[in-house]
Chain A
Amino acid sequence: MQAAAARAGNAGAGQRAIHAWLLLLPALTLLVAFTHWPAVATLIDSFYSTPRGSRPGVWVGLENYEVMWDDPVFWHAVRNNLWFAGATIPLSIGLALVMALWVNERLAGRTLVRMAYFTPTVLPMIAVANIWLFFYTPQYGLLEQITGSLGLPSHNWLGDPSTALAAVTLVAVWKEAGFFMIFYLAALQTLNPSLKEAAAIEGASRWYFFRRVQWPLLMPTTLFVLVNAVINAFRLVDHIFILTRGGPDNATTLLLYHLYEVGFKFWDTGYAAAITVVLVAVLASVALVQFFVLDKRVHYR
């Protein structure tokens, strides 16, 4: 009797497992086809030469990586990307925090201010880059008109290698800060208001309250935003297409943009695979750091 019930249970469990896998099948198939398989195939491809015409790619070992090592544009892209990340991450997160603290208060016209901060997030980067392009235009662009009225000399912001990267970085910060603000705002609104009252009664200064109470409690949010910001720093290239196309003299070439050029302008798929491996490795290590290091340091409520 009991054995029969157990057998029936097992049959039920087996049937339920089949059901579960059937439910998962469509999504998993697509995930494997467009994420896992291409990731593995990219790694394999990075050891093969680029097929030319009817000639298939041949095993070349680490040759693509050697090409990469000797490619000055690749190193340009690495340096630029590190610079871009080093500037966008702290700037956009810092601004986001300030914005969130502001619009969390009872501020005159709070809804409008919040909307103003968030608007860039909703709009396509490619579209707003068109507008920024005009800002940076030499002679009659908006920035020129402002600096001109102050009596400063004319400057080609996007055309000068020393300012081009900073100019595209600024656009990225403008685009991202409002997005990160939303997460800080959400977190601030879940904080217990009595904390604030207690701190005020104790006579703690606002800065003290922020540093000792709000900031530590916002840590999980900061981690979440930080991971997003790091990922975005390696993924955000849309505005490069409109603003600079990687120029002048590769001053604004980022890794993903370089990958695009190698893969789809020069059709060097072997080398492109090697660059993709580097990019994926960077993002995978961000994930690992998140899972194993930062997660343990942050106290979740």
Chain B
Amino acid sequence: MKNNTLYGATWLDTLGAWLLALLWVLPLAYAFWTAFHPPEYATRLALDAPWTLDNFRRAWEAAPFARYFLNTAVLVALILAAQLVLSTMAAYAFARYRFPGSNIAFALVLVQLMITPDLLLVENYKTMGHLGLVDTLTAIGLPYFASAFAIFLLRQTFMGIPKELDEAARVEGASALQILWRVYVPLARPVYTAFALVSVSFHWNNFLWPLIITNSVESRPLTVGLQVFSSVEQGVEWSLITAATLMSVAPLLIGFILFQRQFVQSFMRAGIK
């Protein structure tokens, strides 16, 4: 009996945990209420309020959401693909090669963990200007293509893979790239999944740099589009804004609900060095 209640949750803990949880979902719950009801019910809770999808239709028509969705999806995929390829190569070099300058190179990588590209806005904007890339999806993604975090994470993982596997493959005449592709990448699959989830949710949500580097609908991602959309000062229409907000977070929210466990675990894995 005592063992079961070993500092276990008392009813007070359960109550506290639930109250906090309710408080935490309150903003989202409220957004749901407003988005699915006619505007006149936006500010008052009436149980007999009729349900409607009209707000979503109007929001969809009020801004080029289809374009924003496409931009964000392409952007996120582009960044992830580049990050995976580049950091796999770099991590492999750090984990399995001994070469002069490797420590300096690794230190150069680690610097990015503290000083991320989004702090160097002004200078990176100038660079994009010189490259003629301002207002393109490439410009939003390019500074993030080389991810120090991914390199670090994969290097740790690769170092944990037994060297014997590597040597055995080498004896059979496999080239370095073949070994990387056939041995290391498959064995690191859980880490790739973890990083992919972190990367996708980060870049889906990223705002400041995309805001600065884009100025047309053709390149704007959802976050920037949403901000432009909601700052239109024509009498604040809460039902419209919450509908638009829910639309833009829907893919992430649905993904999160479906893969809740993987999400949490991947963030856990990403956090433990």
Contact = CB atoms under 8 A, between A and B. Distances in A.
Interface of A: 13, 16-17, 19-21, 23-24, 26-39, 41-42, 45, 95, 98-99, 102-103, 105-109, 111-128, 130-132, 134-135, 137, 140-142, 145, 174, 178-179, 182-183, 185-187, 196-197, 199-200, 206, 209, 224, 231, 235, 237-238, 241-242, 256, 259-260, 263-264, 269, 272-273, 276, 279-280, 283-284, 286-287
Contacts of A118: 263-264
Contact of A273 (B20, B34, B122, B222): B122
B97 A17 contact: yes
B95 to A, nearest CB: 10
The CB with the most chain A CB atoms within 10 A, among B16, B113, B208, B252, is that of B208
Interface in B211-225: 211-212, 222-223
17 contacts: A27-B146, A28-B109, A31-B109, A34-B117, A35-B116, A102-B20, A105-B7, A105-B13, A122-B263, A123-B253, A126-B207, A142-B30, A145-B43, A183-B267, A224-B271, A260-B208, A283-B115
Given A13-B99, A31-B109, A286-B114, 18 more contacts: A20-B99, A24-B105, A26-B90, A28-B146, A30-B143, A35-B112, A36-B111, A45-B122, A111-B260, A122-B252, A123-B249, A125-B205, A127-B248, A130-B245, A134-B242, A141-B43, A186-B268, A273-B122
Contacts, number: 279
A186 B241 CA distance: 36
Contacts of A132: 27
B102 interface: yes
A135 to B, nearest CB: 7
Contacts of A135: 27, 30
Contacts of B183: none
B176 interface: yes
Given A107-B17, A116-B21, A32 B123 contact: no
A26 B83 CA distance: 11
A122 B212 contact: no
Interface residues of B, number: 96
Contacts of B101: 21
B242 A182 contact: no
Contacts of B195: none
B15 to A, nearest CB: 10
A21 B104 CA distance: 12
B6 interface: yes
A261 to B, nearest CB: 11
A221 B43 CA distance: 42
B81 interface: no
B124 interface: yes
A130 B115 contact: no
B204 interface: yes
Contacts of B248: 124, 127
B156 interface: no
Interface in B70-94: 86-87, 89-90, 92-94
B127 A38 contact: yes
